[in-house]
Amino acid sequence: MRKFIKTAWVAVGLTVLGSAQAGVFEEGVRAFRSGDYDAAIHAFEGALAQGQKDARIWYNLGSSYYRAGRHEKAAEAFARVPEDSPLWPAARYNLGLIARKTGDERLAKKHFREALAAAGDSGIARLARERLAELKQAERPVWRAYVQAGIGHDDNVNFAPLGIASKRADQFLDLYGSGAWDFAGNRDRGWTANAFFSYTDYFKDRAFDYNDVSLGAEYHWRSGPWRSRLKADLLKSNYGGSAYQTMTSARALFDYRLPSHQKLRADLRYDDIRSDNALYDYLEGSRQRLGLTWYGGSRGGYWNVGYRLELNDRRDLGTTASYSPTRHELRGRYLRYLSGGWEAGAYGSLRHSDYPSADIGDRVDDRLRLTLDLRLRLQKRTRLKFAYEYTDNRSTVDNVTVGTRTYGYSYTRNRLLLSLDHRF
């Protein structure tokens, strides 16, 4: 619990103030205690305007601004508490809380250390030690990694680049790994290199095997309630045992911290897609995405809801069929922490895809996807996971023949996966 030192000195030593100033000060004290922080701010600023610069006025003005949610003004007031005042350790502690709340953990550490050094053996020193310990525990390692291995069943394999379901069931092996290395800067501002691979191997029909390998770099920084990231990635994909695509991506993410453990994220991404196989040249081109997501959470779990717009400009199959849809997607997720190390989650998305007119017709797809998963924490960094995914894609183009090829995009699909993952 991050305790805020509010009023430890709020009513001490009023007799040292002149009678007029003491009256205004007492008005501020009463307003603060009743929860009328705007009135308290007005009263304490009135005392300052009368020429009284007592440390207690600056301190309680900072407390009032903090309670009113005006953190920048609160920091200005706490910073005016002089170092020779008994209130200085508490003011530095509160400055540390404000810095931490606005995402500047380096400044938060500085203020907590100042409070600890000046507070002696008081309760403020104990609180400062606790906050410093929390910050140390929350520090990211220089490197981190994640691996997952699983086995699953797919009752309608449909990852063919053409997007046509195979209507064949198969079992598969699923492997995934990712890593990150903070090679410059720190958590508040710096550079990170990242990489990941994914591999799916179907047991019966290797024509649907696929794997991705990606390398990239990210620059991140914090400013007040904002956390921003700029990323660049290169991804190579193989499909059916042959080269498939090379994708170069640029991405920008902007997170804005809200009260009550919530945040908003804007996500902008551009993909340049190049074919590595003449069979798939029609998919070459570009893709742009814009996403907005609202996140929230508590000790019991977390949730998010969001929207994503996707624009595609691909080479397409001449006038026969287009693979350049405009897509609108709504999605949401909820994860609940249960007792005994169990977690239960649900994810859902609705995606509407509108394709340019082509010989196969005016194609419009509506896809529903639902996922349920259950996780058990075996150790601190190791989990067992069971996931079920259901997909229902409805298309206006179904069993349409153009020349010698039949096109159909409506399908349903059920996918089960049992996996084990570990974080390093």
> Which pLDDT score, from 0 to 100, does residue 10 have?
39
Which of 408, 411, 208 is closest to 321 using CA atoms? Answer: 408
pTM above 0.85, yes or no: no
pLDDT band of residue 161 (cuts 50, 70, 90) is low
The residue among 416, 326, 307, 405 whose CA lies nearest residue 360 is 405
Q: Residue range 182-206: average pLDDT?
A: 91
Among 387, 344, 359, 399, CA closest to 153: 387
| Residues ≥6 apart with Cβ < 8 Å to 87 | 8, 9, 55, 56, 59, 81
DSSP-assigned states of every residue in 268-315: EEEEEEEESSGGGGGG-EEEEEEEEEEEEEETTEEEEEEEEEEEEEE-
For residue 421, what are its two tokens?
């993952």
Among the listed ranges 50-54, 63-67, 74-78, 91-95, which one has the minimum average pLDDT value? 50-54
CATH for the stretch 14-137: 1.25.40.10
**What confidence category does residue 401 fall into, taking pLDDT thresholds of 50, 70 and 90?**
low
Q: Which fold has domain 141-423?
A: Porin (2.40.160)
Is pLDDT at 203 greater than 60 in this prediction? yes
Report pLDDT digits (tens) over 105-144: 888 899 999 999 888 877 888 899 998 888 877 666 688 9
**Structure confidence by residue, pLDDT tens digits, 307-355:** 999 999 999 888 888 899 999 999 999 999 999 999 999 999 999 999 9
What is the identity of the amino acid at 216? Answer: G
Cα-flanking dihedrals φ and ψ of residue 53, to 5°? -110, 30
Segment 241-257 mean pLDDT: 96
Lowest-pLDDT range of 110-124, 126-140, 283-297, 385-399 = 126-140
Percent of residues, the chain, with pLDDT higher than 70: 90
Residue 208, Cβ density class (10 Å: 0-12 exposed, 13-18 middle, ≥19 buried):
buried
Q: DSSP letter at 321?
A: B
Question: Where are the chain's structural domains?
Answer: 14-137, 141-423
- How confident is the model at residue 53, as a pLDDT? 74
Share of the chain above pLDDT 90, in %: 58
Q: How confident is the model at residue 302, as a pLDDT? A: 92
**Can you state the angle between helices 123-138 and 105-119, rounded to 10 degrees?**
150
Model confidence pLDDT, tens digit, residues 205-226: 888 899 999 999 999 998 888 9
Residues in the chain: 424
Chain centre distance of CA 71? 23
Q: Which residue has the tokens 């897609």?
A: 273
The Cα 71–Cα 82 span in angstroms is 19
The whole-angstrom separation of Cα 108 and Cα 95 is: 7
Range from 75-79, 102-106, 122-126, 363-367 carrying the lowest mean pLDDT = 102-106
The span from the CA of 188 to the CA of 190, in Å, is: 7
The token pair at 364 is 């419009």
Mean per-residue pLDDT over the chain, rounded: 88
- Which helix H or strand E contains 329, and what residues bound it? strand 326-337
When mean pLDDT is compared over 185-194, 266-275, 359-368, the highest value belongs to 266-275
Beta carbons within 8 Å of 293's beta carbon, 6+ residues apart = 264, 265, 267, 304, 305, 306, 307
pLDDT at 326: 98
pLDDT value, residue 159: 58
